[in-house]
Each structure stands twice: as structure tokens, then as C-alpha cells.
Amino acid sequence: MWIYEKKLQYPVRVNKCDPNMAKFLIEQYGGADGELAAALRYMNQRYTVPDKVIGILNDIGTEEFAHLEMIATMVYKLTKDATAEQMKEAGLGGHYANHDKALFYHNAAGSPWTATYIQAKGDPIADLYEDIAAEEKARATYQWLINMTDDVDLIDSLSFLREREIVHSQRFREAVEILKADREQKKIF
């Protein structure tokens, strides 16, 4: 089903060890509007949408896994040289005590990822509007993360991710219009 290339979708570079920024980035790793929740939401919903839009959900869900890999790389690079004291000062003391510097699916506040973040109503249009909202919330979060760093290399990667969220939102909007047009066509049996 997938072909894995051993490279990131977009390069990830950071200028310095910054566990404070890593703590905030973890929101996009294991938060409600993060990449894991998005990928799983879309891959799950693809089974209950009409054939005309399955590909959109599958394509975007797959890309969200690539974004998850980018966020994981950012967090790793921002924390790999951090001392235990720096992790503690950044508010990651509990994370460090439980996981050392290993990534773990939780949000910036430390709450673990939960399947309750995923929505699937079974109504394709309702689900697609949920997906549009998820992409717009992720776009906003990426902008706020950009606002919180002065690392130009990190800003570059985050800007790429923010722009992809915009594209995903647009593609979901197109899918809604496809389904609305299909629903409004007269069916003759």
C-alpha cells in the first residue's frame, strides 16, 4: 500500500537545543488537533465515505503520518542534547522521569493522547466539515508555534506544515462540494 522513502517529506533543521520549544511542539505530536489524531481520523473515515472522495481521505491521512514524522524529528533534535535539568526547567520533568527523551503521545500540557480526539459520525458531509475544522485548528496551532520561536530553520519547517494544512482544508472543501453536487442530482432508477 505504501512505499517508504527514507527521507522526510520536507527537511527539518533546528539551530539549537531548545526543550522549551519541544514542549510546545509536542502538542502537534499527541494533542487533540495534532498529526496523529488527524492521520487516524482520516484513515478511519475513509471507510464510510462515497468512492468519489475515498482517495482524498487516504492521501491526506497518509501525508499526516509524514507530518507526524517531521514533528517527531523536530522534538528529537530540540531535546537530544538537553540535560535532565534543562528538561525539568522546560516543564518536561514528568516526561523525562517517565520516558527519558523518548517521544510519547501526549499534548503540550502532558495529557496522554486519547482516541476521543477522533471523530467519525458516519455522515460523509458532517465528517468532512469536522476534517476542515481539524485542518484549520492545526493551521492556527502551527502559526502560534511559529510565533513562539526565533529559530529560522524551525520556522521554515513549521511554515511548510502550516501551508499543507491550508491545502488539506481546501481539498476537504472540494470533497464536500463533490458530495453535495452528487446528493442534489436526480436519481433515476
Q: What's the pLDDT tens digit per position in 56-102?
A: 999 999 999 999 999 999 999 999 999 999 999 999 999 999 999 99
pLDDT band at 184 (very low <50, low <70, confident <90, very high): confident
Judged against a pLDDT cut of 70, whether residue 179 lies above it is answered with yes
pTM value surpassing 0.85: yes
Judged against a pLDDT cut of 90, whether residue 153 lies above it is answered with yes
Q: Does domain 19-66+80-101+115-180 have CATH number 1.20.1260.10?
A: yes
| Per-residue three-class SS string for the chain | CCCCCCCCCCCCCCCCCCHHHHHHHCHHHHCCCCHHHHHHHHHHHHHHCCHHHHHHHHHHHHHHHHHHHHHHHHHHHHHCCCCHHHHHHCCCHHHHHHHCCCCCCECCCCCECCHHHCCCCCCHHHHHHHHHHHHHHHHHHHHHHHHCCCCHHHHHHHHHHHHHHHHHHHHHHHHHHHHHHHHHCCCCC
Domain ranges for the chain, please list them.
19-66+80-101+115-180
Q: What average pLDDT does the structure give for the chain? A: 95
Region of poorest pLDDT, from 27-31, 116-120, 142-146: 116-120
